[in-house]
Chain A
C-alpha cells in the first residue's frame, strides 16, 4: 500500500511499492508484458536505437557533401544513394511516425485519462512486435543490397532498380500495421476509458493531438499498404500498374503514395504540437490560451491533411490540378498559425520557468515557425516550381520533422522522464544539450534554404563548386548537432544511475498522470485520481524539501 510518504525526498530508487519497473524482473517479464508503461519504455528504447542508426547515416551524408566529388573513402555514388534512402526510410517509418504516439503516448495517454491501461493491452503489445518485425525487414535490406530508391519509392525507378526494394517495402507495410493498431487502440481508449467528469473539453490537449493523429493513422495508412503491395506485385509478377513499359502510369504511384504520406506528415507533427500545448502552460504556470481553438485546430489539420497531397507533384501535374492543390494547401497553414499565436499568448503574463523542457518548447516555437512559414513558399505555385526538389524542400521538411517533431519529442521526454523513470536529470547538462542541438540544427539547415534558392537539387552525390561553401557550413552544423544529441543522451542515461529521486510532480502540472507516484505503481494509481481542469495551477504549491509541487487541498505529507 502506497502512502503519502512516497512523495518525500530521499526515497531510494525503486522504493515505491509495486512500481511498474520493479514489480516483476527479467527480460521475459518485459517481452510478455501487456502494461502500457513497459510497452512505452520498450518503444522508447527501440526507437532511440533506430534514431541512432538513422543519425549515423545522416552524419555520413553530411561528411560526403563536405566537398564536391568523392569525399568519404570507399563511398561511391551507389552507396551514397543507399545511405540517403536508409536515412530517410529509417527516420520516417521507424522513428518519427511511431515516435511520440508509441513511446510517450503509450506511457502517458492512459494515465492522463486516469485509466489503468489502454483499451486493448494485448493489441498494444502486438503492435510493438510488428514494429520490431518491420524494423528487422528494413535492416535486412541493409545487409542484402540496400534499397536505393529514396524513402519515396518512386516508380518506375523502384520497379526496375537492382537493389533489395522488396524487403524495405515489406518492412514499411508491416510498420503500417503497427501504426494502425496503435491508432485504433488510442481512439477506443479515449472514447471509452474516461472517468466520470472528464469530458472531451477537459482532456489535456496532448490527447486531442494524439486523437487527431490516430484518425489519420487508421484512415491513411491502409492506402500506403495497398500501394506498396501493388509495387511488389509489379516487381515480382510484372503486373502493369505503374511502369509504362507494361502500360502502367508512373505518376499514379505518386498520387497513391502522397495520399498517405502527406497526412503522415501530420501524424508526425500533431502529437508534437500536443506536447508543446502541455509544456508551455505548465512552465508558465498559466492556463493554456484558447483551449477550444487549439483542440479544433488539431482536428482541422487532420481533415485538411487529406486533400493537399498533390502539392508534392506540381512539376508533374496539369495547371488546373496544380491550382486546386495550391489553393487547398494554404488551408493547412491557418490552424497551424492559430496554434502558434495561442502558445505565444499563453506565455503573456505567465510565470515562466526556464527548465529544460521549456527550453525545448521555446526551441520548437522558433523552429516550427520557420518550418511552417517556409511551407508558404512551397504552397505558392510560382515559387514552388523553382524550389521543388531542391535543398529548400530538404531544409523545410527537416525544420518540421526534426526541428519541430524531434525537438518536441526530446522535450517531452525530458518533461515526463521523472515520471517514467523516477529520476531527475542534471538541469545544467539538459540545458547544454538543448542549446547545442538547437544551434547545430540551425547551422545545418539554414544554409540549405539558400542552397535550394540558388538551384541545388536534392539527392545529389556530387555538386558544382559554387555550392561548396554552403554545403561545408551545413556539414559543420550537422556535426555540432550530433554532439548536442550525445550530450542529451549521456545526461539522461547518467540520471538513471546517479540522478536524484524524482518527486511526484516536479513541474507543477495539473494533468492526472502527475497524481501517480514517480515511477508509477504497476496499476498506475493507488487511489482514484481527481478529475479537474488540466490547466488550472492555482492550488499547486511548491515544496522546497522535495523540490516538487503538491496540491494545497491535500496538504503536504498530511493525511
Chain B
C-alpha cells in the first residue's frame, strides 16, 4: 500500500517522461535544443547537489560532534581565519561559475541565431489569446509546424506584454506591443496527438491562465495538407462549424461561455435576439449588426455589468469569418437555433460530395 503510493510519487516526479527527457523532472523534449538545455541543467544540478550535501553534512557533523555539554564549555582554541583556505574556497566557485556561464551561453546561442531560409510564422498575442499567421495569410489559433525544419516565429502583441512559452522546446520570448521579437527552433520530433502546450508566461490580466495554445508538429506533407485544408476552412466546414472553430481558437471562449455562466464577457447562451441593458443606460437586442459591431468596435456598446476590456478584431477577422461567428452565436440562442442549423444544412446540401469527384 505504502510502497504503491511511493512508487506513484516516484513515477510522477522522476520518470513521467523518461522516454524523451534527458533530465528527470523536465517535460518531454520536443527539440534537440531541449536536450542541450537539459544537459546544462543536469550539469548545474550535479554541482549544486554536491555543494549542498557537502555543506549540510559538515553542519550536521559539527552540530553533533561539538554539541555543548556545559554552558561554561569553551572550545579548544582554533584559528579564526586561514588565508590559504579562504583563497581556495573563493577560487573554486569562480572557476565553476565561469564554466557554467560558458556552457549555458553556448546552449542559449543555439536557439537565438536565426537560420536563413527559416519558415516564418507570425505570432500575435492579445488579451487573452494567441493567433498564428502562416505565409499564405491564413490565421489559426494553434501553432502547426513542419517537422525537422527551421522555424522562425515573428512575435508581437496588440495590447500589453505577453510571453510565448513552449516548455517542451525550453524556449520563451516576450511578445511586446509596438515591436517584433524573434524565436527560432527546429522541432525534431513529431508532437503527441494533442500537441505540446504553449503558455503565456508574462502576467497579462484576468484570463492570463487561459491564454494557451497547442503546438502541433507534423511531417511536411501532412503539414501542407493541413494548411491547404485549414486555409479554406470557411468553405470546407460551413458557417456554423467554421464559427465554432473560430470561437474555440481565436480567443472568444476565454471570456464568453456557452453555458450561461458570466465570464469576463457575457455568455453566448441566449445572447442573440434577447434584449439586455448597456452601460450607457440604453438597451440593445443583439442582431447581426450588433454582433458585427461588437467584434470590430468592442467598446462602442458594452453590456452593463461588464468592463470594456475586449480588444478589437478589426483586421484579424475576414468578413466570411465574422458571418460564420454570427451564425455560431445565433446557434446558442433557443429562438434562433433552427435558423442557424438551416444555414449549415443549406451549405452541406450545396457542397459537392467528395466521393462523387
Contact = CB atoms under 8 A, between A and B. Distances in A.
Interface of A: 77-78, 81, 148, 150, 154, 156-157, 160-162, 244-245, 249-251, 284-293, 315-316, 319, 322-323, 326-327, 330, 333-334, 337-338, 340-342, 344-345, 347-354, 362, 365-366, 369-370, 373-374, 376-377, 379-386, 388-390, 450, 453-455, 457-464, 469, 508, 535, 537-538, 541-542, 544, 549
A544 B89 CA distance: 41
B56 A369 contact: yes
Given A341-B89, A463-B209, A373 B75 contact: no
A381 B75 contact: no
B66 A373 contact: no
A469 B208 contact: no
Nearest to B63: A352
B66 A508 contact: no
A382 B209 contact: no
Given A286-B78, A315-B174, A353 B71 contact: yes
Contacts of B307: 162
A292 B163 CA distance: 45
B75 A362 contact: no
Contacts of B174: 315-316
Contacts of B48: 373-374, 376-377
Contact of A319 (B37, B112, B202, B210): B112
Interface string B312-348: 0000000000000000000000000000000000000
B206 interface: yes
A156 B159 contact: yes
B74 A285 contact: yes
Nearest to B87: A293
B197 interface: yes
B76 interface: yes
B287 to A, nearest CB: 29
Contacts of A464: 197, 212
B206 A347 contact: no
Given A160-B160, A289-B80, A326 B56 contact: no
20 contacts: A154-B161, A156-B161, A160-B159, A244-B176, A250-B177, A293-B81, A337-B93, A348-B58, A352-B63, A354-B67, A365-B56, A382-B170, A383-B44, A388-B201, A389-B172, A457-B201, A462-B210, A463-B209, A508-B71, A541-B72
Interface in B182-210: 197, 199-210
Given A352-B62, A389-B201, A338 B44 contact: no
A323 B78 contact: no
Nearest to A382: B107
Given A157-B203, A161-B205, A370-B52, 17 more contacts: A156-B161, A290-B82, A319-B108, A338-B90, A341-B86, A349-B75, A352-B62, A353-B68, A369-B51, A381-B105, A385-B170, A390-B165, A390-B201, A455-B27, A460-B209, A535-B80, A541-B72
Contacts of B90: 293, 334, 337-338
B25 interface: yes
Interface of B: 12-13, 23, 25-27, 36-37, 40-41, 44, 47-48, 51-52, 55-56, 58-59, 62-63, 66-68, 70-76, 78, 80-82, 85-86, 89-90, 93-94, 97-98, 100-101, 103-109, 111-112, 159-161, 163, 165, 167-168, 170-174, 176-179, 181, 197, 199-210, 212, 264, 307, 309
Contacts of B103: 380, 382
Contacts, number: 262
Given A289-B80, A334-B93, A78 B206 contact: yes
Contact of B55 (A154, A160, A369, A549): A369
Given A286-B75, A315-B174, A457-B165, A156 B160 contact: yes
A457 B199 contact: yes
A66 to B, nearest CB: 15
Contacts of B197: 455, 464
A345 B179 CA distance: 52
A385 B168 CA distance: 12
A381 B67 CA distance: 43
Contact of B208 (A348, A379, A460): A460
A454 B55 contact: no
A341 B25 CA distance: 30
Nearest to A460: B209
A448 B291 CA distance: 43
Contacts of A362: 59, 63
The 7 closest A-B pairs by CB, nearest first: A455-B167, A244-B178, A382-B107, A380-B104, A381-B108, A460-B209, A542-B71
Contacts of A330: 97-98, 100-101
Given A376-B44, A380-B101, A381-B105, A315 B173 contact: yes
B199 A455 contact: yes
A333 B80 contact: no
B66 A81 contact: no
A462 B106 contact: no
B302 to A, nearest CB: 12
Contacts of A327: 101
A156 B202 CA distance: 12
Contacts of A374: 48
Nearest to B62: A347
B303 to A, nearest CB: 16
A454 B25 contact: yes
Contacts of B63: 347, 352, 354, 362
A291 B86 CA distance: 11
B253 to A, nearest CB: 13
B40 A285 contact: no
Nearest to B12: A469
Nearest to B204: A157
B66 A381 contact: no
Contacts of B85: 345
B159 A150 contact: no
A549 B68 CA distance: 15
Contact of B66 (A154, A156, A349, A389): A349
Contacts of B27: 453-455
Contacts of A290: 80-82, 86
Nearest to A332: B97
Contact of A352 (B66, B78, B208): B66
